Structure 1
């Protein structure tokens, strides 16, 4: 469009043609910056809307959230949540194979400390081959530090809470039903991320401030966040019904 306009001006084309070409150039620039903002969407040959610069930046798949803010995090995992009614309020069910991957360096350290391995290389090989002593040491390691569970979108403080991990079989995280309201979570396929605090200060802060038993009130209103609902209320009704 730009070259065409330059050529028309050089040829001394009539003002009406120049004005029309300027308008088309402006529309092309508008479509490049934000396609569809001014009404008509510019499409490609197969009738697909062309992606503008604004579309490349905005949204979940945009440059900011996908590439700049969305980074891979060490010592973290992600899975679907299911109910764990036998858990205590401050506990979460962590699948064994997930826990082994999360706490791998700590298990390796224990293997060397207890004399099962004489080097990091040997310890790593033992963890990868999942020797029987690995599970025993993993059970000890998970008691030393809590894990942080986060459910996106993280809109307020209660969206990230700390839990004492309990090793379970399966692939899904287990969660006490009373903490769901704080996370705005339910058990219809919701996913949550798990993180391991590494430093002593982080472990201390998680234990003293972030455990779910210390976050039973909503910070915005002071109302109770751990409230029975749905199946819990129905279960209480059935348990107390007079026959």
Structure 2
């Protein structure tokens, strides 16, 4: 399926969903253009800035079938790309689908893989999380290849140790810091050989008279991660460990992180826009410093700040110092949008709002029989809406569905008579949370009552 011709009716074409690491090539292939500027919209014209976080050339037009400059308008120009502004003439809903990307001036490590418990990166490289943090945030060097020197592989060196080692051994060993060092270490891993080596060590440990339980646990844990990565290519493209280090970052569609003009003239914006803006500002500053051949200390500091801003975008709560908003609260990151009860999975994918259903407080109704429930009139009107509309048409009170709906809105007398008639033959299902056994959901004969509570 090409990027331009998205078919919106293919939602049921999938048989299964598989989650895997995204390669830099994948991230760039999802994208419709690189976001280069931190600006969102022009505050005089209220139009998106070119190459900014709301750019119409990247994410699609704000108005249906109209390019940004207004040269092409109407469905007759469908699919045309304006030669003046570069915007494709299409439906504005593509702004909910189209993604962009940010090309990073220096690689950064994905926070999920080194800060999560247990740390996948730590398990894979057989290193402690604290050691990884020292490398990633430019505190210590790590030996990538010791060469012929007495240094050990993956050994940490302070600034002073590194200087002494360079004086003693020159270029005989390779050491680095930051995400570049982590990436080199991951690229040097041979998963097939490592899995075989770990299995051998595990068998060796098991053969001992008094095997160490802790060592066995650590080996099994590491073996699981290594084999999962090794075998990931069986059902699709193989996950490579170095993809845990990001070269570019996807930018989610603008309609999923909106910027809204309020009646007061101020703008309400999604926290994600602030987090993306910080990344772009720091990334652009790092590019300039590299071009100017700035001292290594300054570049290193800027790379660390870039790493921190990307960490905040992915999971702000896991950062040591979360990025705070105007009211001193931590900004909501991508992880916060996904996790929890109000997250994308539980709120939107697993639990959806259903038509012709209602939710209300329940109170005792001592005058009701065992098989009856008291249903408030306005709830009953919503639940039995299709039946009432059909009956209104059958009895000739309304000619069209539209006129029948208007009668429902006005709550005319005929509507209540029909409602009384309809509920006689239609029991309702009531669910009392928490539904821990089958009796939590039962059918009842509805009895119309005043008020808002179900009895």
Note whether the superposition's TM-score is higher than 0.5: yes
Find 1:119's aligned residue among 399, 406, 411. 399
Cα–Cα, structure 1 residues 25 and 100, in superposed 2: closer, same or farther, change >3 Å? closer
Which residue does the alignment assign to 1:216? none
For 2:446, the equivalent position in structure 1 comes to 165
Does residue 353 of structure 2 align to residue 92 of structure 1?
no
Cα–Cα, structure 1 residues 167 and 22, in superposed 2: closer, same or farther, change >3 Å?
Answer: same
How high is the TM-score relative to the length of structure 2? 0.33
Is it true that 1:2 corresponds to 2:304 in the alignment?
A: no
Closer, same or farther: CA 2–154 of 1 in aligned 2, 3 Å: farther
Q: How does 1:8-27 map to 2 (within 5 A)?
A: 8-27=289-308
Alignment counterpart, residue 34 of structure 1, candidates 315, 338, 358: 315
**Which runs of no fewer than 5 residues in structure 1 stay unpaired?**
175-243
Scaled by the length of structure 1, the TM-score of the pair is 0.57
How far the C-alpha of 1:170 sits from its partner, in A, is: 1.8
1:212-231, aligned counterparts within 5 Å?
none
* Residue 102, structure 1, aligned to residue 383, structure 2: yes
Encode CA deviations 1:98-153: one digit per residue, 9 max, x unaligned. Answer: 2123223323433444x453634665565555454543432221121221223556
Q: Number of residue pairs matched?
A: 173
- Mapped partners of 1:23, 1:102: distance in 2: 57
The corresponding residue for 1:209 is none
Q: 1:142 to 1:160 in 2, by over 3 A?
A: same
* Structure 1 vs Structure 2 CA RMSD: 3.1
Change in 2 beyond 3 A, CA 1:83/1:46: closer
- Aligned to 1:171, what secondary structure does the other structure show? coil
Give the superposition deviation at 1:173: 0.7
Higher relative contact order (CA 8 A, sep 6+): 1
Structure 2: distance between partners of 1:86 and 1:94 = 13
Q: Which has the larger radius of gyration?
A: 2
**Equivalent residue, structure 1, for 2:271:** none
Unaligned runs of 5+ in 2: 1-281
- Alpha carbons of structure 1 residues 151 and 8: separation in structure 2 relative to 1, 3 Å: farther
